[in-house]
A = this chain, B = another copy of it.
Amino acid sequence: MNIVLASTSTLFGGNYLEYLENEIRSLFAGCEEIIFIPFARPGGISHDDYTQKVAEFFGKLGIRVKGLHTFEGMVEALNSAQGYFTGGGNTFLLVKMLHELKLMDVLKMNIETGKPYLGCSAGSNIGGLNMKTTNDMPIVYPPTFDCMALVPFNINPHYLDPSPHLKHNGETRETRIKEFLTQNETKVVGLREGNWIRRNGNSITVQGSEMTRIFENGKEPYEIEPGTTL
């Protein structure tokens, strides 16, 4: 497999996908056209406009982008595509649409044959075993939380350290992930903004500018450096 699962599409103060440009060039080397999956977006920007924003970035790399929503036969479109990018938004909405349109398994099977896949945020969540470690609000009810299992763990994108100054009693991100581990055996990768997971064949590493926090059952959470195998 040939995959990038990024914590976020955009770094604070940066431009869309900018910090990932080198990795994206390498991921999609040889591709002339990819399919963009805009279904996570619940509003604020239309699927067309979202696709246009992606097309502008990929245009600089000489790669054309088509929105999956523009195809009448979406299964065939996925099967014919050279590569894929799923953008961020709301993971519940994304997972509901991919399952209801019977696209989740089609996408998974194509990626497992080696076609390149880029996910950001919600698009990275669906690369994990399931979406039970998303940060998103459950604005719709998906038929299942299961995802593509492109990596043998779950991802928590936009991982955020506890803020010592906040006078608020909502749970911290670390508390939430520890709650997940009381109900599940699955390893969770807390992916800070600036980091991404790179799968190349059977090699799975974490890349980027930040340390990555790992949560496993029966262990204290621990930090790993960029380049570490997962």
Q: Give the interface of A toward B (CB within 8 A).
A: 8-13, 42-44, 89-90, 92-93, 131-141, 144-145, 158, 160, 163, 166-171, 176-180, 182-184, 193
Contact = CB atoms under 8 A, between A and B. Distances in A.
A8 B138 contact: no
A140 B131 CA distance: 10
A179 B141 contact: no
Contact of A42 (B10, B139, B182): B182
A91 B95 CA distance: 20
B135 A139 contact: no
A177 B139 CA distance: 8
> How often does this chain occur in the complex, in copies?
2
Given A42-B182, A89-B179, A132-B137, 13 more contacts: A42-B183, A43-B179, A90-B179, A93-B183, A132-B141, A133-B139, A139-B176, A139-B180, A139-B184, A140-B183, A141-B145, A158-B170, A168-B193
A184 to B, nearest CB: 7
12 contacts: A12-B169, A42-B179, A42-B182, A43-B179, A43-B182, A44-B178, A131-B138, A132-B141, A137-B180, A138-B138, A139-B183, A141-B145
Contacts of A158: 168-170
A167 B12 contact: yes
Contacts of A179: 42-43, 89-90, 93, 137, 139
A136 B184 CA distance: 16
Contacts of A42: 179, 182-183
A20 to B, nearest CB: 13
Given A12-B168, A169-B8, A137 B145 contact: no
Contacts of A43: 178-179, 182
Contacts of A160: 168, 170
